[in-house]
Structure 1
Amino acid sequence: NWAGFYLLEKGSGDLVLGPFQGLSATPRIKQDSGVVGTTFTKQTLTIVPDVHQFAGHIACDPASNSEIALPITRKNGEKIGILDIDSPITNRFDQQIALDLENFIQTLLANI
């Protein structure tokens, strides 16, 4: 029900909402805040089977029940941002979806 990008604003260090599809979302997220900020800080894939069980979850769409967030980082270590996807279905995301999205991110990075 929601998919979009949060991009690093180098001056503030915040993650700023970029292109997205779905209901309006939080325009700025601090590093270490919510699923997006935690994923950015840890620089690891985050799969949240039930967002209601994630301490500090930032709810934008009350219909969202699960979430996946992936860091977008160049091979040289430059941090670009996060790809964030929500679903109204609990436990919607699995390792195959994560692998497919990681491949998608690598394709994006190869073309920007």
Structure 2
Amino acid sequence: MAEEVEPSPLTQSDTISPPPPPSYVEVKCTSSGNTRRFAAGTDAGFAVRLINRKLKKTMMVVSHIEAVKDGEEPIAFGPNSVLINFGNGWMLQTVTDSGKFNFLILSLNL
């Protein structure tokens, strides 16, 4: 008769747990090419104002932030929306309001 062996309980060091999610979100600035990090829970309006302050000398204006993924419709963040990462393949990026602003610059240069 074979002797039954009871499995030993797993210790905390034996288990592998996934890393905790980052406590920040990254937003790629399409104008400058820089990636900015914001604390989790940051609202999109604050992020847009901060990015525009950094872009002040470039004459580009960020209108809003959106989440993009190949093959998917972009998801726009309103000014009071909390920035979140939607997961694998999704990226947050800025959108510039190039329509009226560029027209105004061209008009002033004529």
Max Rg structure: 2
TM-score, length basis structure 2: 0.33
Q: Which has the higher strand share?
A: 1
